[in-house]
Amino acid sequence: MKQEIAEAAARAWGLAETPVLVAERENTVYRVGDYALRLHRDGYRRLPQLQSELVWMATLARGGLDLPAPLPGPEGALIAPVKGRMVSVLRWMPGAPAGTGPELTVPDPVAFAEALGRMMARLHDLSDGFTPPPDFTRPNWRAEGLLGPDPLWGRFWDNPIWTDAQRDVVLAARAAAKAQLNQLAPTLDQGLIHADLIPDNVLVDGDRVIPIDFDDGAWGYRDFELATFLLRQRARPDYPQIRAALIKGYSTRRAVDAGVLDLMILCRALTYPGWIMTRMDTPGAEAKAGRMTDTALNLAQTYLTTLEGARP
């Protein structure tokens, strides 16, 4: 059925090649010649959110950011229904992912991290110059979306893996982090962010560093962008060098406060135990859930210990 939809969509966009399935993630992705054709997951994003994602990407591409620019389809629309599924088409980008899952596979991870930081800075600069249309809408990854009573990715403290004692630690860290975020809010750099620049979502083609999969793009803290990448690299022996290189690359935009960055790494870690709860029927989910909850708990414990040590 999906293949039939993809073939019908290719015809609607005027693409002659036969779609070839390349990925089944949040969206189903086909390659059609020089383009990526996406069948958007039912119910994951509302149409205004999908349209806003594509308008933003088109603006970034016009500004010179190297990314998969949307291809207008029927009657100039960036997204259109085909046989009951919402479809969009993006330019196919060269290169290979910087890694698989959390693992970086690039030859020089430190150099890559610096280049990634520069790309993040460019993405944020261009986004600040973007004037969204009146109907523009994307999720909000700020304090309430991260730590409020109904977080974007679910009530992570309700994950059944937690013991009562572990849940108490997570809830204490959530409350303290929320208070700190509210206090820091006036000083934090905020705006549109990609929000998922993990190794899978960054292509490397020679010196080019290309962000893909803007599906989770949102309003949020700019340091949260850096934290999303760094969280998955913390176990590496060269993590201090990778972190320093990412910050150095991003410094073309502004300096990064180490304490704020650590807070954002904690906030990002807390999102994943909520995210996995709705995906426990997917392959490998149990192992992922264990890793995600372990990471979140360890960071929560460290955060609370640091706060306690800072008290007079």
Tens of pLDDT, residue by residue over 106-121, are 999 999 999 999 999 9
Q: Where does the pLDDT of residue 230 fall: very low under 50, low under 70, confident under 90, or very high at 90 and above?
A: very high
**Same structural domain for residues 77 and 171?**
no
The DSSP string of 178-234 is: HHHHHHHGGGS-EEEE-----GGGEEEETTEEEE---TT-EEEEHHHHHHHHHHTTT
Which of 59, 92, 125 delimits the end of a domain? 92
**Same structural domain for residues 251 and 125?**
yes
Which of 40, 62, 92 delimits the end of a domain? 92
Give φ, ψ of 106 to 5 degrees: -70, 150
Mean pLDDT of all residues in 50-76: 96
Tokens of 224: 């949260």
Can you give the pTM of this predicted structure?
Answer: 0.94
What CATH number is associated with residue 201? 3.90.1200.10
**Same structural domain for residues 155 and 87?**
no
Tens of pLDDT, residue by residue over 273-304, are 999 999 999 889 999 999 999 999 999 999 99
The answer to whether residues 201 and 116 touch, using CB atoms and an 8 Å cutoff, is: no
**Same structural domain for residues 87 and 127?**
no
What is the predicted pLDDT for the residue at 40?
92
Does the structure show a pLDDT above 70 at 312? Answer: no
Neighbours of 52 (CB within 10 A): 20
What CATH number is associated with residue 84? 3.30.200.20
**Same structural domain for residues 76 and 171?**
no
**Same structural domain for residues 78 and 149?**
no
What is the predicted pLDDT for the residue at 43?
75
**Same structural domain for residues 69 and 39?**
yes
Tell me the pLDDT of the chain averaged across its residues. 95
Query: Which residues span the domain enclosing 55?
Result: 2-92
The DSSP string of 115-161 is: HHHHHHHHHHHHHHT----TT----B-SHHHHHSSS-TT--GGG-TT
Does the structure show a pLDDT above 90 at 214? Answer: yes
Question: 3-state DSSP call for residue 80?
Answer: strand
